[in-house]
Amino acid sequence: MLLEGKTVLITGASQGIGRAAAVECARAAANVAINYLGDEAEAESVVAEIRSLGREAIAIRSDVADPASAPAFVAAAVTAFGGVDVFVSNAGICPFHAFLDMPVAVLDRTMRVNLHGAYYMVQAAANQMVAQGRGGSIVAVSSISALVGGEYQTHYTPTKAGVHSLMQSCAIALGRHGIRCNSVLPGTIQTAINKDDLADPEKRARMAARIPLGRLGVPEDLAGPILFLASDMARYVTGAALLVDGGAFVNLQ
């Protein structure tokens, strides 16, 4: 099993991509601690699913934008499972809005959750990994939006470029500790984050038609790539970014 005896922490894992990654890591024999800010019942259903796979899980409700939530999440996982081997920084929001009248509050919240939150969490996990002295793997969920723009995502795409850049710098800062840092760059994945934006069937069909593999993504499409980067299968991979977009990025014309 790829993650036998390992502990995995994932932020924003009550639903969507984070949830799919949490379940996949449990299938690979890891115990999993999830952070979330949504519905408690949903988070508990992830815990139940992981337990049904024969692994242990805990769910901690907190806001990643609060700097205090990061050391608290890591400490809770260490208390429950004895350490941290893999950290997946996934929590994120994308409140679609036009550029010219972007409210300060929307810009500020998006930056604080997506970029500051990732920074605080990755830093807390890295400190724990360094103290343990046995290396580790950090995976950040960036986006194809780190590489391309979006008319209603001018506040969001810079955060995803930032997360991608954070992993590159952390790969250098943490390599000497045996800690690998990589990002995944999902394309358009059907989750709650874009439910309204993709509500129009014509828009969905138009977007799917631009994807060489012929469909939008689902959260489970990210589970394998995240597991790969988390595991020793990727033991010489650090500072890398893995596009998981059905080929959308390379399909310019």
Ligand X SMILES: C[C@H](O)[C@@H]1OC(=O)[C@H](O)[C@@H]1O
Ligand Y SMILES: NC(=O)C1=CN([C@@H]2O[C@H](COP(=O)(O)OP(=O)(O)OC[C@H]3O[C@@H](n4cnc5c(N)ncnc54)[C@H](O)[C@@H]3O)[C@@H](O)[C@H]2O)C=CC1
Considering the complex, what minimum distance in angstroms separates the CB of residue 184 from ligand Y?
8
Site membership for ligand Y, residue 35 (CB under 6 A): yes
Tokens of 187: 């394309």
Q: Is 195 a catalytic residue?
A: no
Please state, in angstroms and rounded to a whole number, the distance separating the CA atoms of residues 22 and 33: 8
Q: Is 89 a catalytic residue?
A: no
Active-site entry in 143, 145, 183, 231: 143
Total residues belonging to the chain: 253
Please state, in angstroms and rounded to a whole number, the distance separating the CA atoms of residues 174 and 60: 26
Q: Is 120 a catalytic residue?
A: no
Site membership for ligand X, residue 89 (CB under 6 A): no
DSSP 25: H
Contact partner, 14, from ligand Y, ligand X, none, Cβ < 5-8 Å per class: ligand Y
Site membership for ligand Y, residue 128 (CB under 6 A): no
Contacting ligand Y within 71-90 (CB under 6 A): 90
Please state, in angstroms and rounded to a whole number, the distance separating the CA atoms of residues 208 and 211: 5
Beta bridge partners of 7: 31
- Cβ atoms of 21 and 228 within 8 Å: the answer is no
C-alpha dist (Å) from residue 56 to 138, 174, 224, 232 = 20, 28, 20, 21
Contacting ligand X within 121-160 (CB under 6 A): 143-145, 150, 160
List active site positions. Answer: 143, 156, 160
Binding stretches for ligand Y (CB under 6 A): 11-18, 35-38, 63-65, 90-94, 113, 117, 141, 143, 186, 188-189, 191-194
Binding stretches for ligand X (CB under 6 A): 94, 143-145, 150, 160, 188, 193-194, 197
